[in-house]
Chains A and B, each alone.
Chain A
């Protein structure tokens, strides 16, 4: 499995880790990782430290996650993208739309 997700014991942290390639083939799994979490004020961390490559459909998937997070008044943090992935986020100027922690 290229996607792992876990919820902290207090239910306030949801972390999604993506390994290797983050592209359209993960569409369904990625959605499944967060869409049933309906509690509000959750911090969603998208951990990209193990992501080697990301394409533009992944950017679209992140935007859908952002919509979900906003709907339930949570926080979204993109965490530790590598240089290649960060370059893609930078070109798309995603730091203007969400928090990216290097």
Chain B
């Protein structure tokens, strides 16, 4: 007996008939089991799961029609064990009744062995086809489940601030083409993405992994939102076939800058709500979906808006507004906004919208993926950034604005000595158009990681470099006044003006910013770690020089004004330099404000 031998079930109250049919089936290489009435036929079916059933009609206890009905009910739709009625009733009614009962064919006695065998072959062919289809379907199902598992376990479970960002996610098929990501930048800002790949199922999932990898890696390295978007677009253009693309909204939320950076390529409008549930800003789609064009359109730009810390950003995919009730009515923007507003007031946008949707759609079939993210504009950095803002603990006097001259670091704070010459230096000099196109901070941070190893303390350094570089660019090279940012209108005016002036940089090849880093690790002196205990304490000092080609400014008066204003919490601007000041040991402006020297000291005790 081989395993691929098929099994037939013969149900007939005549032992003689059973014997006869069994012999014929065995000649066709079937194994045969036998039942003598309908009821035990059903039992045998359940027990043996045969590949083929031969069924008599008139039998005691339960007739063939009833037994067939039960078997078909038990085996379900996808699992076809063909049933052939064997009967002497050569009437139309018998034929029709047997098909109605769920029989797949009928064979009228008397028949020759040759006709019987031909019938068996033809019907088995259909059975084989059905099981092939079933196997394919199961494989597809397995693939889809794998894709879903990958999405939920691997991709979305690793999102940042899962507990803070509200999410609705209802897939139309088992795997949804919608994807939502959140990750934290080195300076504590948060990047969020909500996207929708065309199509559903596995087809929609191929872009998810590269998008996720790029989004996370670039955010972690400190690239700006726009650079990440450009890269994701490039990647998807190369990867996806012509009719597949990625509609997505991006947000970068900066608590300390009190601003949000938004880009919407192909999704419905995004919302900025205040805590009274008033819509402050709508973010319309301003760009075709990603993956269609080799590069973003030349006028592609990030929208920058001032935020209050109690504001909420809400992004949705089109599945929500296109969800239908059983009578075909669309859920629509109006119902969505209404639900979202109530949700904002009750601190549960996702929950409220989801409830409304369920009531509205009832049992109607869901045609598209439904996804929403509800992002608070604060609360992302209670621990992480709080830690990184504090200066290294060993430093008792971190607040000084400008110690004139060289600070004495020859070991006073750490009982350690620094080498006189830096262990290494790094300089990057950018001119003209490059100032617009290149973000030097990730480049510098990469170098630092390569030279001095990775470490938590570089998060603070990243913030310092970013703030100082942006200051040099905005207020130095571009000559923008930060007082513009003090009002909400001025805020957007500032960013418009900034974009305009950045574009003119290509005509000014003499404009430059020069960044110099000098690194002094603590010397590995052993004199202090006496024999008793090997205290391994690592640390060092990074001396940062940033020089720009701008006009400079009246250093002292600005700093004074800034610090009083910030104490009274009246300004949108000036927070950057305040942050730098907290993080650095010293910050010093020279050469009429065109050169800033900052010293960042860190130490780690293991």
For the complex, is A64 an interface residue (Cβ under 8 Å from B)?
Answer: yes
Given A55-B368, A93-B266, A97-B292, A60:B285 Cβ within 8 A: no
Nearest B residue to A56 via CB reads B198
Which among A64, A88, A90 is the interface contact of B243 at CB below 8 angstroms? A64
* A-contact bits for B49-67, CB 8 A (1 contact / 0 none): 0000000000000000000
For the complex, is B287 an interface residue (Cβ under 8 Å from A)?
Answer: yes
For the complex, is B412 an interface residue (Cβ under 8 Å from A)?
Answer: no
| Beta-carbon contact of B288 and A94 below 8 Å | yes
Nearest B residue to A68 via CB reads B242
8 A-B pairs with least C-beta separation: A60-B243, A93-B288, A91-B285, A92-B266, A64-B243, A56-B198, A60-B198, A64-B242
13 pairs of residues in contact across A and B, judged by CB atoms under 8 Å:
A56-B196, A57-B199, A59-B289, A60-B245, A64-B242, A64-B243, A90-B285, A91-B266, A91-B318, A92-B285, A92-B288, A96-B287, A96-B297
For the complex, is A67 an interface residue (Cβ under 8 Å from B)?
Answer: yes
| Beta-carbon contact of B285 and A93 below 8 Å | yes
| CB neighbours of A88 from chain B (8 A) | 318
For the complex, is B267 an interface residue (Cβ under 8 Å from A)?
Answer: yes
For the side of the interface on A, what is the size category?
10 to 19
A91-B268, A93-B266, A93-B287 known; 19 new pairs, CB 8 Å cut-off, are: A56-B318, A57-B199, A57-B243, A59-B198, A59-B245, A60-B199, A60-B242, A60-B244, A61-B243, A63-B245, A63-B292, A91-B267, A92-B247, A92-B266, A92-B289, A93-B285, A97-B288, A97-B292, A97-B293
Interface size on B, residues (CB 8 A): 22
- Give the contacts of B424-451 with A (CB-CB under 8 A): none
| Beta-carbon contact of B247 and A56 below 8 Å | yes
> Measured between alpha carbons, how far is A56 from B195 in the docked complex, in Å?
13
| CB neighbours of A93 from chain B (8 A) | 265-266, 285-289
Secondary structure of the B side of the interface?
A: loop
Nearest B residue to A23 via CB reads B367
Secondary structure of the A side of the interface?
A: helix
| Beta-carbon contact of B242 and A63 below 8 Å | yes
Nearest A residue to B264 via CB reads A91
Nearest A residue to B240 via CB reads A60
- CB proximity of A97 to chain B, nearest CB, Å: 6
> Measured between alpha carbons, how far is A17 from B502 in the docked complex, in Å?
46
> Measured between alpha carbons, how far is A92 from B196 in the docked complex, in Å?
12
| CB neighbours of A63 from chain B (8 A) | 242-243, 245, 292
> Measured between alpha carbons, how far is A99 from B289 in the docked complex, in Å?
17
| CB neighbours of B265 from chain A (8 A) | 93
* B-contact bits for A20-60, CB 8 A (1 contact / 0 none): 00001000000000000000000000000000000111011
- CB proximity of A15 to chain B, nearest CB, Å: 21
Nearest B residue to A84 via CB reads B330
> Measured between alpha carbons, how far is A35 from B289 in the docked complex, in Å?
24
* A-contact bits for B259-290, CB 8 A (1 contact / 0 none): 00000011110000000000000000111110
- Give the contacts of B219-250 with A (CB-CB under 8 A): 242-245, 247
| CB neighbours of B287 from chain A (8 A) | 93, 96
> Measured between alpha carbons, how far is A91 from B247 in the docked complex, in Å?
9
- Give the contacts of A52-102 with B (CB-CB under 8 A): 55-57, 59-61, 63-64, 67, 88, 90-94, 96-97
| CB neighbours of A92 from chain B (8 A) | 247, 266, 285, 288-289
- CB proximity of A96 to chain B, nearest CB, Å: 6
